[in-house]
Amino acid sequence: MSALRFPNQERFCQEYVKDLDARSAAVRAGYVPSPNLRASVWRLMRNGAVQARIAELQEAVAKQAEAAARAEADWVVAQLVKIARADPRKFFHPDGAPRKVHELGDDEAAALSGFEPSGEAGKVIDRLKVLELLGRHFGLWPQKPPPPPSPQDVNLFEGMSPEDVRRVRDKVGRLLEGAGVDLPGSAPRPRQG
């Protein structure tokens, strides 16, 4: 679908997707703020062509936001790669003297978490942590599943009323007796023989 036939409706749709405030969108689109504005907004929002155009514009906005988020994620990964590739030898001159920040390449400068007021390179970001983040991002090793709950952590009767717990206890007791098993905490039955 393309732009609506009536320019004022198209402007309304364009304005509405900015903040989803129909009244403000109508005013920004050129509708006169009068006592009849509420009725005009109501009619606009019930118009099938306007609803379809708003849905189309919202889909376009969502795609743009998704593309921007992907670009941001790509940028973050690129920065992590720069840090991971930073060569610590490039922080020093051949004679062993530390380089100033302005003498560092992009990868080395990205690896700095701070620098001294004198311009000397300061602390370097933890490279192992960066490599771990990259490895997790690219799925290089499986995540460990959480440990199963220990028997003490499981409450089989959680959410049951005391009466329901008694019924379950009695039924389990009858089943165990029928199988010839003594219940824990009960007196042992005399053996037949």
Could you please report the per-residue DSSP string of 99-139? PBGGGS-HHHHHTBS-B-TTSBB-PBP-HHHHHHHHHHHTT
Residue 50: what pLDDT?
93
Length of the chain equals: 193
Residue 56: what pLDDT?
93
State phi, psi for 147 to the nearest 5 degrees. Answer: -65, 145
Percent of the chain with pLDDT over 90: 26
Residue 105: what pLDDT?
84
Residue 19: what pLDDT?
92
Give how far Cα 51 sits from Cα of 38, 47, 48, 63, Å.
Answer: 17, 6, 5, 18
- State the Cα–Cα distance between residues 62 and 68, nearest whole angstrom: 10
Of the listed ranges 36-50, 69-83, 152-166, the least confidently predicted one is 152-166
pLDDT tier at 193, thresholds 50, 70, 90: low
Structural element, H or E, at residue 168: helix 162-178
pLDDT tier at 23, thresholds 50, 70, 90: very high
Q: Is 80 exceeded by the pLDDT of residue 166?
A: yes
pLDDT tier at 1, thresholds 50, 70, 90: low
Pair of tokens at residue 42: 């109501």
Q: Give the three-class secondary structure for 84.
A: helix
pLDDT tier at 151, thresholds 50, 70, 90: low
- State the Cα–Cα distance between residues 28 and 112, nearest whole angstrom: 47
With contact defined as beta carbons under 8 Å apart, do 128 and 83 qualify?
no
Q: Give the three-class secondary structure for 30.
A: coil
With contact defined as beta carbons under 8 Å apart, do 4 and 57 qualify?
no
Q: Is 90 exceeded by the pLDDT of residue 10?
A: yes
